[in-house]
Amino acid sequence: MAEPTGVLWERDPHTAAKHALLRRYMSAWFPIMAKQFRDVGITFLDGFAGPGEYTNAQDSSPLIAMEQAQRTEVTRWRTQTRLVFLEARAGRAEHLRNVLDSRHPPADRPSRLMLDVRRGKCVDLYEQAIADAGGWSGPVFANLDGWGVDTDYSIVQRIARQQSSEVLVTFQDQFFIRFADGEQEAGERVFGHSGWRAVDQKLTAEKAPFLVNLYRQGLHDAGFDYVLMFQMVDEGGHSLYQFFGATSEVAVEKFKDGLWEVDGVSGQRFRDPRDPHQMAFDIREPDLSSLRNTVLRLLDEREHSMAELRQHALRETIYKKTHVSAAVETLVNQGKVEWARNGRSHADQVLRRASRLF
C-alpha cells in the first residue's frame, strides 16, 4: 500500500492484524517491565505514529499504548512510564494530539505517565525525544511501523544498545526488489550498507528470501540476540514482513504467544518466510509438519536433547517451544525417532534418529 496523502485513511487488514498483535504483546510488556524497572522507568516509542485513528477504525498503535499503559497492573508499580509519539506530517500529528486528549484527558491520566507527541521524521527526532523524556535510563520498546522503507538502520542500532530494549519493524521487500538498480538511497539507510543491491542479480524466487535474511542478520549484528521474522499474508495474497528484535528469551516467548493467538484476524495469516513448505499456521489446529521436518533434519546431524530442540524452535522458527513435544511425540509414534536417553528434565531427554531396517 502506498502512503496516503490525507490526514486519515482506511485501515487495511494488514494494519488490523498488526494492531491485534501489538495489543496482545503490550498487555504483557507494560506490566512486566513496569514491575522490573521501577527504579529507571520504561519507554514506548512510536516512530511513525500516524493520526491516531482511521476512517473505518478508532484503533491505532498510540491509542493501544495509552490504553495498556494505564491498566491497574501497570500503574500499581508507580513506574515512570513514557510514551513518545513521532509523526512526520503536521496535520496527522495535530490530529493525534486531539484524539489522545479527547479519549484520555490529561487530568485523568496517571501521575507517573508522561506523553510527548512531536512532529518530524523519526530518524531526526527519536534520540533527543527519548532523552528529553529521560527514556535512555531504562528499556525502550520501539514500534517502527513505517511504510516499509522508512526505518533507518541507525535507529535499530541505537535501540539495540539499550538494555532490555526491543523493536518491532515493518519491512516491505518489494520496494527493494523494484529499485535495486535505481532508488538506492533508501536501501542504504534501511540496511546500513550496500550489500542489499545484490538482490538485482538474484533469481526471482530468491529475491525476497535474500532480502529478509539479510535484514534479519542486520538486526542480529545490531545487538538483538533474538530476531523473530514473520510474513503477514491476507486473503488476496498481499504480504508484509514484520521483524521483532529482543535480547530476552522471555520477550520472544511472550511475543510468540501473541502471534499465535491473533492469527487469522481480519482474514490475515502469518507464516515463516524462511520455510517455503509452511503456507500458514492456525492456532486452532497447528500444522506441525514443518517443525517435524526440522527435528528430523537436526537429528540426522547428531543426537539432540529436548532442551536443544525447544531452543532451536524458539530462536529459528515461528513455532513455540511448547510445540516441540507434540512434534516429537508424533515422530516417536511413527518410528522415525527414538529416545537415546529419557530423563526427568528436558536436558536429560535425548533423541536420535530411529535405527533404519533394510
Mean pLDDT of 162-183: 83
Query: Could you tell me the pLDDT band of residue 148, with boundaries at 50, 70 and 90?
Result: confident
pLDDT: is 357 or 306 the higher one?
306
Q: What is the average pLDDT score of the chain?
A: 91
CA distance 336 to 348: 20
Domains and CATH numbers, the chain: 13-271 (3.40.50.150), 289-353 (1.10.10.10)
How is residue 184 written as a grid cell? 538506492
Mean pLDDT of 110-127: 98
Cβ pair 166, 138 in contact under 8 A: no
- Which range has the worst mean pLDDT, 43-52, 126-135, 201-210, 230-239? 230-239
- Confidence band of 358 (pLDDT split at 50, 70, 90): very low
In the prediction, which pLDDT does 172 show? 84
Residue 173 pLDDT: 81
The C-alpha cell at 226 is: 533474538
Determine contact, residues 337/295, Cβ cutoff 8 Å. Answer: yes
* Residues whose CB falls within 8 Å of the CB of residue 26, separated by 6 or more in sequence, listed in order: 44, 64, 65, 68, 141
pLDDT of residue 295: 97
Q: Quick one: cell of 79?
A: 513506574
Written as one string, the DSSP assignment of 75-132 is HTTT--EEEEEEESSHHHHHHHHHHHHHHS-GGGS-TTEEEEEEES-HHHHHHHHHHH
Q: Is residue 264 scored above 90 in pLDDT?
A: no
As a whole number, mean pLDDT of residues 27-32 equals: 97
Q: Which long-range contacts (CB under 8 A, 24 or more apart) does 330-333 make?
A: 330/288, 330/292, 331/292, 331/295, 331/296
The model's pLDDT over 220-248, given as tens digits with 9 standing for 90+, comes to 999 999 999 988 876 566 678 999 999 99
State mean pLDDT over 25-53: 98
**Helices 90-103 and 61-69, packing angle to 10 deg:** 30
Mean pLDDT confidence for 286-290: 85
Q: Is the pLDDT assigned to residue 21 strictly greater than 80?
A: yes
Model confidence band, residue 1 (pLDDT cutoffs 50, 70, 90): low
Does residue 279 have a pLDDT over 60? no
Using alpha carbons, select from 288, 289, 270, 290 the residue that is nearest to residue 280. 270
Q: What is the pLDDT of residue 269?
A: 65
Question: Are the CB atoms for 305 and 346 separated by under 8 Å?
Answer: yes
